[in-house]
Chains A and B, each alone.
Chain A
Amino acid sequence: MNGAGKAAWLNALRLVVVILAAWQLLYWSVGDVALRSPLATMAFLGKLVSTGPFWAHLGETSRAFAGALLFAIVIGLSVGFLLGLNRFANEVLEPVLVAVYSIPKITLYPILLLMFGLGMSAKVAFGALHGVIPIALFTINAVRNVRPVLIKSARTMGLGPLATVREILLPAALPEIFTGIRIGFALTLIGTLLAEMFASQRGLGFLLMNAIGLHNVDLIMALTFILVAFAATVSSILLFLDRRLHSRA
């Protein structure tokens, strides 16, 4: 491992220690009414993962998230390539994408619920809605920034449009597209959870909201910990891969 990699690991380790210490201090100052210590949370988590219903809820959330991510990536890449290759269509539609990106998308969730009904498909649609725009925007940018000489050589060599995408555009634009997918991953997860927290009968988001009503602090702490730890771990890995892709290009 080189020096920079070692420093990054050390930083991450220090951060984890700082967060755990802050958590413990917060627990000492607030007390048992509303918080649990890191140790108690881990202990409860250990019990939680040995129960059946937990795995059913986790499975539900995972399926919704995986479906949403798949849609977000496929639609995001298609829109990104179409708009990235067509200058005028991009000029017309990119501002629309940017505007939708910054609105509180939760307001659109009731409409999706009325369209799809309460259940898996509304969750998937809402999760995908969050992830699709960053993926599309980054892909547009990536495709537009591919050096024109590459595209011209593809045309000289008689490559068709699909072959051009596969052989030239995708490899050249990959680092940027990966950044889009990294952000899309995070937002899709957030969207899926929001959907479950607002209206759902199953899933970790539902379990979390249910725990408020039961004033089950143990469960709230454990679930919040799982979700945050999962999101932070996966995006750290994606960020690491992202930086490697960019430094190679």
Chain B
Amino acid sequence: MTRAALFRSALFVLVVALLEILCRVGIIDKLTMQPPHRIVIDLWRILASGSLNAAIAKTLGNAATAFVLAMVVGVASGVVLHRLKLVRETLDPLFATYYAIPIFAFYPLLIILFGLGDAPQILIGFMLGVVAVIVNTLNGLDRVPRTLMKTARIARMGPVATVWSISLPYAAPYILTGAKLAVAYSLIGIIGAEFIMSRGGMGYEISFAYNNFDNATMYPLILLILLVSITINMLLARWEKRLMIRRGQR
């Protein structure tokens, strides 16, 4: 471990210990926060009892659906837009400001359109992720060297074969950057939508516990969501770094 990582861990332990002490002495009262050791014990209890397994499965399943949709639609749109210059130029201002738009504001409209099932949540996760995938796919396709395209033409490859066996593999590291963002965004979208209004899932359980002053459920679930999303993001970042190093791009 590097010295910085060591310091980071020490800092983390210090903060947790400080929270524990503040809770024990009563400076932070019980209604505001449970002491950290209690949160961990409660989380273990909840996971062992399996009472929230359905909610956890629902959230992760919906996030996975949103992610897969964003990847398939995003990469496909990227490939198509790369060929249609005029359409791409028209959509460019949209892509540039897309992440400034509060996508969650569309949630009420989606509920009216599709009812309060899984669809509006998946769509929010999809809408948050898809543009990151499109933009990164376009970015990758722009960098395919001309010699490779010329080679494809000499080998008499059709447009589909060229995209499938030359452009997309070359653009893969950039698409992976998009995928990394799409994973984070689909989780944010699903959990955020569940929080605002839904009938199930981890976000719903947290907001339900909050409304019932049930800190013994709320804090463990918050911890669980943080652990899951940080773990996923760290694994993806590590994988991306390895891929980049292998390609000699970093």
Which A positions have Cβ atoms within 8 angstroms of B? Answer: 8, 11-12, 14-15, 18-19, 30, 34-35, 88, 91-93, 95-96, 99, 102-111, 113-115, 182-183, 185-186, 189-190, 193-194, 197-199, 208-209, 211-212, 215, 217, 220-221, 223-224, 227-228, 231-232, 234-236, 239
Contact = CB atoms under 8 A, between A and B. Distances in A.
Contacts of B233: 99, 102-103
A189 B105 CA distance: 11
A116 to B, nearest CB: 10
Given A107-B222, A114-B32, A236-B93, A198 B102 contact: no
Interface residues of B, number: 52
Contacts of B195: 106-107, 109, 198
Contacts, number: 146
B16 interface: no
Nearest to A8: B93
B25 interface: no
Interface string B24-39: 0000000111000000
B102 A220 contact: no
B157 interface: no
A241 B212 CA distance: 47
Per CB-CB distance, the 9 closest pairs between chain A and chain B, nearest first, are: A186-B100, A235-B100, A91-B4, A110-B210, A104-B191, A104-B188, A102-B184, A227-B105, A235-B97
Contact of B105 (A35, A183, A217, A223): A223
B229 A102 contact: yes
Given A15-B93, A102-B184, A96 B112 contact: no
Contact of A224 (B31, B109, B187): B109
Interface in B109-163: 109, 111-113
B225 interface: yes
